[in-house]
Amino acid sequence: MKKTYKIEVDCANCANLMEEAARKTPGVQTATVNFMTQKMIVEFEEGHEPAGVMQDVVKACKKVEPDCEIFL
């Protein structure tokens, strides 16, 4: 399953760090962050609940970029 989330991030480098953190989160198959459109596209692994996985993605992203926002 693939879902798109609105994000708020201040710079392209921060967006890259968020993308990398999201990709390393268990349950995430792929993740792409687009700084220009302020969107994150996440494809979830089979059998994982998107809501639970996204809570972990938010935590991981906050570790690398404390000011970021992901609107679930």
Count of structural domains within the chain: 1
Rounded to whole angstroms, how far apart are CA atoms 71 and 62?
13
Residue 60 has what pLDDT?
A: 96
In angstroms, rounded to a whole number, what is the distance separating the alpha carbons of residues 53 and 22? 10
| CATH number for 9 | 3.30.70.100
What pLDDT score was predicted for residue 70?
A: 96
The token pair that represents 31 in the structure block = 């993740």
Q: Name the DSSP letter for residue 47.
A: T
Domain that holds residue 44: 2-70
Model pLDDT, residue 3:
97
- Please report, in tens digits, the pLDDT of each residue of the chain (72 residues total): 999 999 999 999 999 999 999 999 999 999 999 999 999 999 999 999 999 999 999 999 999 989 899 999
